[in-house]
Homo-oligomer: A and B are copies of this chain.
C-alpha cells in the first residue's frame, strides 16, 4: 500500500458518496478508507459487512444509486426462495450481493481476517483505493431503545429505526485492535487530511472512534481532521441521524455535530444553508468551511472532496494545538 494523501472514516451510503469523490479527485492509491464494522452481523450463517460492501460497490461503480445500498441491477430470486423456506426476509440479500457474503464467510472460516478478505474483494473489483475495516476484531453496535437493547440490524433494518434510541454501545470496541494498516495510514508521512465522512455519527462514525487504538492514533495524527456534517438545515440527508439526535436530546443542527466531534476534529464542513452557525462553531475552536454539501451527482461528490482537501491545506499551516482530545461522548 502506498502512502495515502487522505484517509476517510466512513459508514455506508452517505459516507461512501464522499469517499467516491475523494477517490476520483486523488490519484490511484492516494486514498485509504477506514470502514465501520459495528453493523456487521451474522445472518443465516453468512458474515455480512454492510458498510464495507457499500464502500466497495460504490468505489467499483457497482452500487445501486437508487436504494443507496446493495448492487445495481440486482435480482432477488434468492430472497423469494428463502421466503418459501420460511426464513426471515427482513434483511434483503440480493443475488449478486450474495457472492460477496458467501466468499467472505468462506474465507473467514478458512482463517482469513476481515482485512484480508476485504483486500481480496477490492482486488477483484480492481480498486486502487484501500478499504480497511476499522478492526479485524468483532465490534458490534447495540442500541438501547424503548424496546430494550437491540442488535444494530434488528433496530436499523428489522424495526426500521422505529423504537426511540436512548443509548448506544459498541460491544468489543475497547478490546479491539485497529485493523492492519489503519494506524500507519493515519500517521502516514505526507498525509494531508483525515476526513470524517458525512455518515451517521452515532451509528457509523462513533464505532470507529470507539476503537481505542484508532482514537489514540487520531489524537496523535499530524494531519488535520475534518468532518463533513451529515446534518444540513437541521435535517439528515439520509437515514435516521436527525431523529436519533433528537431522541438523544440534542438539537438538530450542525452545532450539535460540532459539539459531538469537538474533541476529535480541527475543522468542520457545513452546508451553505447553515452558514449562520459558522461563528458558533468557530467559538468551539473548530475551523469552518462552508460548501454545497448535498451530493447528488458525481460532480457534487468530486467538488466536495476537492474542497475538503483544500480546506485541509489551509488548516495544515495554522494547525491548532489546543485539541483537547478527551473523548467523544456517544450521547
Indicate whether A1 reaches chain B with its CB closer than 8 angstroms. Answer: no
Closest-by-CB residue of B relative to A46 is: B102
Copies of this chain: 2
CB distance from A117 to the nearest CB of B (A): 11
CB distance from A76 to the nearest CB of B (A): 8
The residues of B that contact A86 with a CB separation of less than 8 Å are 124
Q: Are A81 and B95 in contact (CB under 8 A)?
A: yes
- Interface-located stretch among A103-111, A232-240, A308-316: A103-111
Q: Complex: how many Å from CA A257 to CA B229?
A: 76
CB distance from A262 to the nearest CB of B (A): 42
CB distance from A153 to the nearest CB of B (A): 16
The residues of B that contact A100 with a CB separation of less than 8 Å are 81, 85
Q: Are A105 and B45 in contact (CB under 8 A)?
A: yes
Please, how many residues of chain A have a CB less than 8 angstroms from a CB on the other chain? 31
Q: Are B81 and A98 in contact (CB under 8 A)?
A: yes
Q: Mark A94-126, 1 if CB is under 8 A from B, else 0.
A: 111111101101100110000000000100110
Indicate whether A276 reaches chain B with its CB closer than 8 angstroms. Answer: no
Q: A103-B44, A109-B45 are in contact. Are A95 and B124 (CB under 8 A)?
A: no
CB distance from A99 to the nearest CB of B (A): 4
The residues of B that contact A99 with a CB separation of less than 8 Å are 78, 81-82, 84-85, 87
Indicate whether A280 reaches chain B with its CB closer than 8 angstroms. Answer: no
Is chain A's binding surface mostly helix, strand, loop or mixed? helix
Indicate whether A77 reaches chain B with its CB closer than 8 angstroms. Answer: yes
CB distance from A26 to the nearest CB of B (A): 25
Q: Mark A36-73, 1 if CB is under 8 A from B, else 0.
A: 00000000111000000000000000000000000100
Indicate whether A75 reaches chain B with its CB closer than 8 angstroms. Answer: yes
Q: Complex: how many Å from CA A144 to CA B75?
A: 41
Q: Are B106 and A77 in contact (CB under 8 A)?
A: no
Q: Are A106 and B75 in contact (CB under 8 A)?
A: no
Q: Complex: how many Å from CA A97 to CA B71?
A: 20
Q: Are A45 and B84 in contact (CB under 8 A)?
A: no
Indicate whether A80 reaches chain B with its CB closer than 8 angstroms. Answer: yes
CB distance from A250 to the nearest CB of B (A): 40
Q: Complex: how many Å from CA A187 to CA B135?
A: 57
The residues of B that contact A105 with a CB separation of less than 8 Å are 45
CB distance from A52 to the nearest CB of B (A): 14
Closest-by-CB residue of B relative to A43 is: B106
Indicate whether A146 reaches chain B with its CB closer than 8 angstroms. Answer: no
Q: Are B80 and A96 in contact (CB under 8 A)?
A: yes
CB distance from A114 to the nearest CB of B (A): 15
